Structure 1
Amino acid sequence: MQGKAFQDLYPEEYSHCFGCGRNNKHGHHLKSFWSDDMNTTIAKITPSNIYTGGVPDHLYGGLIASLLDCHGAASAAAFKSLTIGNKFDGSEPLVRFVTGSLTVNFEKPTPTECELTVTAKLISIENRKVKVELALLANDLVCATGEMLAIQLKDI
């Protein structure tokens, strides 16, 4: 992983998300980065047992969707910002995206107290719309997949 976290490059007024906002003292503070080849984005997080679902020691689906959502929006911002020449060095904010739609497929139970990896790959960019393919892995096993349509906010 290289460079600054995408979420740390968001404009100040758009940095309060519970999942990834640097200015939300109660949030998860998910951080997304480029992979070494800059074709994939990666985030890592180790959720505690307080986020368990109906099956002990496994995450509830809402947190899984939240992690895919935050990483997907950050990845859309990164992919779009890359196409417009952003330097990712903090000298300019990333363009900001919100979720238009998110599809989540729960493939396997996701353990708690284990480092999870969330990845995204670009599917397409069409004006203000970016589609990304998402995956959440635990111990190198795919636990959830998804697809997001992210919409770029206007005027930022």
Structure 2
Amino acid sequence: MPDKAFQDFYPEDFSHCYGCGKSNEHGHHLKSHWDGETTVARFTPQPYYTGGVPGNVYGGLIASLLDCHGAASAAAAACKAEGREMGSAPPMRFVTASLKVDYLRPTPIDAELEVRGEIVEVKARKVTVNLSLTAHGEVCARGHMVAVRLPDAAAKKP
């Protein structure tokens, strides 16, 4: 994997996200990278992420990981489609317009979680991403995201 994650290229003004912001001391600090034509991020849950079933992760964490990895994947795919480097000006930021999550099986808390994104479609203002979350090699959740690009003006300081 490359040294810098997609999130490492976010400008400081956009680095406070709970899921992936490097400037949020309480956040997940999720890091996404290209892995061939797909994207990948890994996360090891702490015991306090427990769900209602002992030994398993709560569903909100799963949705959060899919959400942040999907938005970062959308930004990377849009940059790639435009022939731009991540981090080039103006910054390209995406937010979630729609996220559907299917929980397929309980997600164990004692495993490194792998989140993968497959870029389905890249348009001028939106990117569609299929997502999966696995633990111990088994798919525990799938997601489908539509991410929309923030206007360039929104990425500038007021």
Using the size of structure 1 for normalisation, the TM-score is 0.93
Q: Does 1:17 align with 2:4?
A: no
Q: Report the CA distance shift for 1:49/1:93 in structure 2 as closer, same or farther (over 3 A).
A: farther
By how many angstroms is 1:126 displaced? Answer: 1.8
Q: Compute the RMSD of aligned alpha carbons.
A: 1.3
Gapped regions of structure 1 (runs ≥ 5) = none
In the alignment, does 2:136 pair up with 1:136?
no
Q: Is the alpha carbon distance of 1:34 and 1:92 closer, same or farther for their aligned partners in structure 2, counting shifts above 3 Å? A: farther
Q: What displacement does 1:113 show?
A: 2.5
TM-score when scaled to structure 2? 0.92
Distance 1:79 1:59, change over 3 A: same
Q: Deviations over 1:85-115 (max 9, x none)?
A: 2234x56575100000000000110011310
- Cα distance, 1:82–1:139 mapped onto 2, change above 3 Å: same
- Runs of 4 or more above 3 Å deviation: 90-94
Percent identity of equivalent pairs: 56
- Whole-angstrom CA distance in 2 between matches of 1:45 and 1:93: 29
Q: Does the 8 Å contact 2:41/2:114 carry over to 1? A: yes
In the alignment, is the contact (CA less than 8 A) between 2:32 and 2:69 conserved in 1? yes
Aligned residues: 153
Gaps of 5+ in 2: none
Tell me, yes or no, if the aligned pair for 1:78 and 1:94 is still in contact at 8 Å. no
**Is the 2:81–2:122 Cα contact (8 Å) retained in structure 1?**
no
Q: Which deviations, in whole Å up to 9, do the C-alpha atoms of 1:2-34 show, x marking residues without a partner? A: 241000111211110001000000101000001
**8 A contact 1:86–1:92 mirrored in 2:** no
